[in-house]
């Protein structure tokens, strides 16, 4: 049985949300505020959407698109924002710029914007993730598989989404460990290619388990 040089420690997380006292009551204000808010807020409203909507298919992909669809009822802008895949953009600054360009372009074609009451405005937030190591750690692919199947879904988010986007890692913690500690580069590549956009954390877990089960079969376990 292949064993890792370093154990993999599954870590879950709890999201502490913080209101920023920054609000947009129409699409023009959304553009202005989007350009000003801390980058953590961009992360919260895009990548963080997957943590908050984990049991269901994420219909709009990010909070900006959802707000445009549900509150402003501007389906065109909602659709344009919804197709922005945060996992395909290299940095959060690039993501902010792409969202801003879409809204700016959309506004140029609008005569007037709809003004909403305060309660229905877009209320910018950010969050702090409190990380929680979950035992036991894994040193083999079998133990990794067992841990992956049992951990809270927030661990899938932390290792798959947060690690890539917030910690500036090119690939997820899972792929990194499988490649460097367990010596399974082919499995790591397959996991790195896994598309986590517009799906749920449970479905991502299911796909990860399928890939790991395939590798266990190849290893004769």
Token reading at 108: 């140029």
Cβ nearer to another protein, comparing 56 with 220: 56
Site size for another protein, by CB under 8 A?
A: 33
The kind and range of the H/E element at 34 are: helix 27-36
Instruction: Yes or no: say if 122 and 41 are a contact pair by the CB < 8 Å rule.
Output: no
Angle (CA) 161-36-74 rounded to 5° is 75
Q: Which of residues 155-184 bind another protein (CB under 8 A)?
A: 155
Task: In angstroms, give the least distance from the CB of 72 to another protein.
Answer: 13
| Dist. CA 175–CA 203, nearest whole Å | 17
Selected from 17, 35, 115, 193, the binder of another protein by CB under 8 A is: 17
* CA-derived radius of gyration, the chain: 19
130: contact with another protein by CB under 8 A: yes
Q: How far is CA 123 from CA 49, 99, 128, 203, in A?
A: 14, 16, 17, 29
Q: Which of residues 59-118 bind another protein (CB under 8 A)?
A: 59, 70, 118
Cβ nearer to another protein, comparing 46 with 171: 46
Task: In angstroms, give the least distance from the CB of 34 to another protein.
Answer: 16
Residue 131: strand pairing partners: 13
- Chain positions contacting another protein, by CB under 8 A: 12, 14-21, 23, 54-56, 59, 70, 118-121, 123-125, 128, 130, 132-134, 150-155
């Amino acid at each position: 049985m292949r064993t890792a040089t370093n154990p993999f420690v599954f870590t879950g997380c709890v999201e502490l949300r913080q209101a920023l006292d920054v609000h947009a009551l129409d699409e023009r204000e959304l553009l202005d505020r989007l350009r000003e808010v801390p980058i953590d807020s961009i992360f919260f409203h895009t990548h963080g959407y997957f943590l908050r909507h984990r049991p269901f298919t994420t219909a709009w992909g990010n909070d900006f698109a959802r707000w445009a669809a549900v509150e402003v009822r501007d389906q065109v802008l909602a659709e344009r924002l919804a197709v922005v895949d945060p996992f395909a953009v290299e940095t959060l600054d690039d993501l902010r710029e792409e969202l801003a360009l879409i809204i700016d372009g959309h506004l140029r074609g609008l005569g007037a914007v709809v003004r909403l009451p305060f309660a229905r405005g877009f209320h910018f937030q950010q969050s702090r993730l409190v990380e929680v190591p979950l035992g036991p750690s894994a040193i083999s692919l079998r133990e990794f598989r067992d841990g992956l199947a049992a951990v809270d879904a927030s661990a899938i988010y932390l290792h798959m989404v947060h690690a890539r986007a917030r910690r500036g890692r090119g690939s997820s913690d899972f792929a990194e460990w499988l490649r460097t500690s367990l010596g399974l580069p082919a499995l790591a590549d397959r996991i790195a290619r896994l598309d986590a956009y517009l799906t749920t954390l449970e479905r991502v877990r299911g796909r990860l388990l399928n890939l790991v089960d395939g590798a266990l079969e190849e290893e004769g376990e």
